[in-house]
Amino acid sequence: MLKITTLLLLLGTGIVAAREVPSETYVIQAGQNGGEAIVKIPVGAVSAFSADRAVALTDYADPKVEAMRLSGDVRIHVIGTPAPIQIRADRIVLELTADAPMHLHLMGGILRARPGHRVQSAQVIVDDPEMQTFVGHVVFTEQTPSGAFEIKADRLERLTGPFAGV
C-alpha cells in the first residue's frame, strides 16, 4: 500500500510540475501598415505548428529557405533554451532554415551553450514583470539548441510564465 501511495504522490507531483513549466510566449500583432511579420526558425527547433491556412512560397528570395505564409490562429512551438517558446499570431511569413547548433563554450571546466536573446525596437513598454511590448521595427533574436530564431514585426508582446499549451 505504501508503494502505491508513494507512486501516486510522485505522479501527482510530476503532473503539477508539468503544468507550471516556465515558458515564453511571443504574440505578434499585425502592423498598421499591413506588413507581414517574418519568423525565421531552424527546422530542428520547431516542435509543432498550426494555422488555419498555409500557402507555400515557391519563388522565395532565398533558395536555402523553405517559406510559407501562415494565417488564422497561427501557433508555433519552439524548443527553447532553457524553456519552451510559443509564438502566436494571426498572419506571418514562416521561414524554415537549416539547423546551425549553438557553439559550446568552456566555463569552469564544463561545456555550456550560451543562451540569450537580443531585441531591437523603437519603443519598449513594460506592462509588468511578466509582459513586455516592443513597438516599431522590432527585430527579436533568441537562441535555441538548433540555432537562432528571429522575429521581425511592427509590434511584439513577450509574455513569461507557466506554459500555456497549444
- The pLDDT tens digits of the residues spanning 12-71 come to 444 444 445 568 899 998 777 777 899 999 999 999 999 999 999 988 888 889 999 999
Q: Is residue 8 part of a domain?
A: no
Q: Pairing between strand 53-57 and 66-78?
A: antiparallel
Residue 39 lies in a domain: yes
Number of domains in the chain: 1
Lowest pLDDT segment from 12-16, 58-62, 125-129, 136-140: 12-16
Q: CB-based burial of residue 118 (10 Å sphere; 0-12 exposed, 13-18 middle, 19+ buried)?
A: exposed
Where in the sequence is the domain holding 84, given as residue range(s)?
A: 25-154
How many Cα atoms occupy the beta-carbon half-sphere of 97 within 13 Å? 17
- Whether 7 is in a domain gets the answer no
Pull the grid cell for residue 89. 499570431
Is 86 a domain residue? yes
Contacts of 147 (CB under 8 A, 6+ apart): 42, 44, 45, 97, 99, 100, 101, 102
Residue 87 within any structural domain of the chain? yes
Q: Is residue 145 part of a domain?
A: yes
Q: Is residue 65 part of a domain?
A: yes
Q: Hey, CA dihedral for 108, 141, 75, 134, is it positive or negative?
A: positive
Residue 124 lies in a domain: yes
Least confident among 109-113, 117-121, 128-132, 162-166: 109-113
* Model pTM score: 0.75
Q: Cell numbers of 161, please?
A: 510564465
pLDDT at 88: 94
